Structure 1
């Protein structure tokens, strides 16, 4: 199975922007989970996590993005980070066949710093990392 980043959807509600992606990943959920929920995993494709307490209510600090709390945590399925200023980053994993995973991703934010092309490039890095067997 090869990975793919399917069409992103961008919505705006007042000051709030919401990006949604469906990303098909070439590894099972158990192998993808650490890339979304550990300091080493996030640093490899997204952002350095200077602080990450892997539990509901735990502290999180994503370098150059912000600090906040883990607001959803369902091991090997859902990790959500809500940062000061209203940023919310949610990773929701589902099985996709015998050897793959589907990542349903949502990023809710204020202002215009993030963009669909930036997230697409990040997810391409994640796919490359997983395809390389990391």
Structure 2
């Protein structure tokens, strides 16, 4: 992935780690939304989504990240999942012209968890997933 597609930073506060990414995507928000807010979409590039109730407080089980609840839900813009053991995972979409979008991604977790490199690999798969869609 070229550096212009995803820019990431990581912070550590005690035992809490926060990863932030800014990912430029070659599709509109409406085209990207299903990739971050449906079982099929997340399973296509991120991790198997065994359960995903697409609404605030809905149940979610992300196979490699944990089980929990949907803690923010603004259709076509924000999907946030808070899972036991996996922390908080937030996808925030913004327009970037008529045919592209920007994903502001945050993963906050305690202890050991997903690394910046793990998420970069996932975002590479996301870009490929969107190109095939």
TM tier, smaller: over 0.9
Q: Which residue of 2 aligns with 1:109?
A: 109
The count of residues paired between Structure 1 and Structure 2 equals 132
For 1:1-134, what aligned pairs fall within 5 Å after superposition? 4-85=4-85, 87-132=87-132, 134=133
Q: Alpha-carbon deviation of 1:39?
A: 0.6
Q: Alpha-carbon deviation of 1:64?
A: 2.5
TM-score normalised over the length of structure 2: 0.94
Q: Which segments of 5 or more consecutive residues in structure 1 lack a partner in the other structure?
A: none
Question: Which secondary structure state, in structure 2, belongs to the residue aligned with residue 101 of structure 1?
Answer: strand
Q: CA 1:116 to 1:67, structure 2 compared with 1: closer, same or farther past 3 Å?
A: same
Aligned mates of 2:44, 2:24 — CA distance in 1: 18
Question: CA offsets, 1:104-134, max 9 Å, x none?
Answer: 00000112221001100100110011123x1
For the 8 Å contact 1:3–1:23, the answer to whether it is kept is: no
Question: Which secondary structure state, in structure 1, belongs to the residue aligned with residue 34 of structure 2?
Answer: helix
Q: Which segments of 5 or more consecutive residues in structure 2 lack a partner in the other structure?
A: none
Q: Alpha-carbon deviation of 1:100?
A: 0.2
Q: CA 1:115 to 1:16, structure 2 compared with 1: closer, same or farther past 3 Å?
A: same
For the 8 Å contact 2:55–2:73, the answer to whether it is kept is: yes
Question: Which secondary structure state, in structure 1, belongs to the residue aligned with residue 124 of structure 2?
Answer: helix
Aligned mates of 1:7, 1:76 — CA distance in 2: 22
Q: Alpha-carbon deviation of 1:96?
A: 0.4
For the 8 Å contact 1:19–1:106, the answer to whether it is kept is: yes
Structural RMSD (CA): 1.6
TM-score normalised over the length of structure 1: 0.93
